Amino acid sequence: MLLGEWLRALSNGASGTGFRRGRRPRRRRRPYYRGRIETLENRTLLSEVVNSPPVFNPDTYTFQVQENTTGAVIGTVSVSDPDGDYVNLIVYDGDTPLGNFLIDDNGTITGPHIVAFDYEAQQTHTLIIQGDDGVSFDEATVTIQITDQDDVPQFTQDPFTFDIGESAAVGTVVGTLTATDPLNTGLTYSVYSGDASDFDVSVDGVITVKNPLNYLLQSQYTFTVDVDNGLHLDNATVIINVIEEYQPPQFDSDSYYFTASENTGAGVYIGTVTATSPQNGTITYVISSSDGPFEIRDNGDIYTTAALEPGMTYILTVVADDGFRTNSVDVQIDVAWGPEW
């Protein structure tokens, strides 16, 4: 076997599919001498034959490819070997995975095969193409310029501001997010951060009430949303203003005045306060302040919890709470003087 053929066999065996990446060999452009071993009359003669390395012409190339294309023909490089040797072509690329760019025996480069081009991430790729005749090699530099495509979704406004009445039922639509979809591949919306705790945002961008709202508890919500087209994200701020709608419970009197006999003991009914809820809530009553022994029951009935002092005037404040709002009223209770007075 010729030494050159043996070296080439080694080289072909190492390169396998014609693609490899790794430490680049030292550049060798000068002619290289290969040996031929012959046996003649029990003597070994070494004659030397000059090998000329392959030559790329030209040795720099610039190709343009639109982003988001995959497996496309990127361009063709031209290589020749002065000796007519077979030239094995391989691709070195520092920035993408092994196998992302391939080259065939004709010098035609295709790709990307693994990671798509993304103009927004990287505008150029540089490949080193190596042509090897088994003994020597030459290199060409290929610059791939990625051209831009409109592929980034964009919210149609930022921020989105919505108003919702605090009495809106769970499930009520607050508003809808909208964004451009340049690739027409479909968009997915989601909450990214912030306080959206009382709202749902569907993948279609529809915002609905998730929990009962209350202006007094929280009058505004602010959160950030994303829209995703599978390639890129955009984000926007959402502001939801809660509009006050609930009214406080209304007592049937501006104030109450009750009297009690001079010998009123514990557990005696004194009188009733009544409030109604404009939002049809269930009212509970509480005595928030009192200078006497009184309690109030669920229906607004006031009872004594101990004997009252004859001739005393007691002042109570009663609060009605319907779960949405509260209101208060003053109650005066006058106790009669005893007969001995």
List residues binding Ca ion (CB under 5 A): 51-52, 67, 81, 83, 85, 118-120, 133, 148-149, 151
Least distance to Ca ion from the beta carbon of 326, Å?
56
Q: Which two tokens stand for residue 153?
A: 């979704």
Shortest CB 224 distance to Ca ion, Å: 22
For residues 17 and 43, what is the distance between their CA atoms, to the nearest angstrom?
41
With respect to Ca ion, which residue has the nearer C-beta, 85 or 198? Answer: 85
Nearest of 258, 281, 270, 274 to residue 318 by alpha carbon: 274
Nearest distance, CB of residue 53 and Ca ion, angstroms: 6
Which of 58, 60, 1, 65 shows the shortest CA–CA distance to 34? 1
Closer by beta carbon to Ca ion, 105 or else 291: 105
Give CA–CA dist 14/31, Å, rounded.
23
- Residue 243 CB, shortest distance to Ca ion, in Å, is 41
Read off the tokens for 174.
């607050």
Which residues, at least 6 apart from 149, have a Cβ–Cβ distance to it below 8 Å?
Answer: 66, 67, 68, 119
**Of residues 121 and 266, the one with the C-beta less far from Ca ion:** 121
Beta carbon nearer to Ca ion, 166 or 226: 226
Closest approach of Ca ion to the CB of residue 51, in Å: 5
Question: What is the pairing mode between strands 188-194 and 233-243?
Answer: unpaired
- By beta carbon distance, the residue nearest Ca ion is 83
Complex with Ca ion: residue 64 or 161, whichever CB lies closer: 64
Please, what sign has the CA dihedral across residues 68, 70, 75, 77?
positive
Total residues found in the chain within this entry: 341
- Closest CA relative to residue 240, chosen from 181, 187, 191: 191
Q: Shortest gap between Cβ of 241 and Ca ion (angstroms)?
A: 35
Q: How far is the CB of 152 from Ca ion (least distance, A)?
A: 6
Contacts of 302 (CB under 8 A, 6+ apart): 258, 269, 270, 271, 272, 273, 287, 294, 295, 296, 316, 318, 331, 333
Nearest distance from C-beta of residue 208 to Ca ion, angstroms:
32
| Complex with Ca ion: residue 12 or 214, whichever CB lies closer | 12
Find, among 332, 341, 270, 271, the residue nearest to 307 by Cα: 270
Surface-to-core class of residue 146, CB atoms within 10 Å of its CB (0-12 exposed, 13-18 middle, 19+ buried):
buried
Can you tell me the distance from the alpha carbon of 174 to that of 168, in angstroms, rounded to the nearest whole number? 9
H or E stretch at 327: strand 326-335
For Ca ion, give the closer residue by CB, 84 or 94.
84
Which one, 104 or 120, has the nearer CB to Ca ion?
120
What Å distances lie between residue 248 and 169, 256, 324, CA to CA? 19, 18, 8
Smallest gap from Cβ 97 to Ca ion, in A, equals 18
In terms of CB distance, is 119 or 192 closer to Ca ion? 119
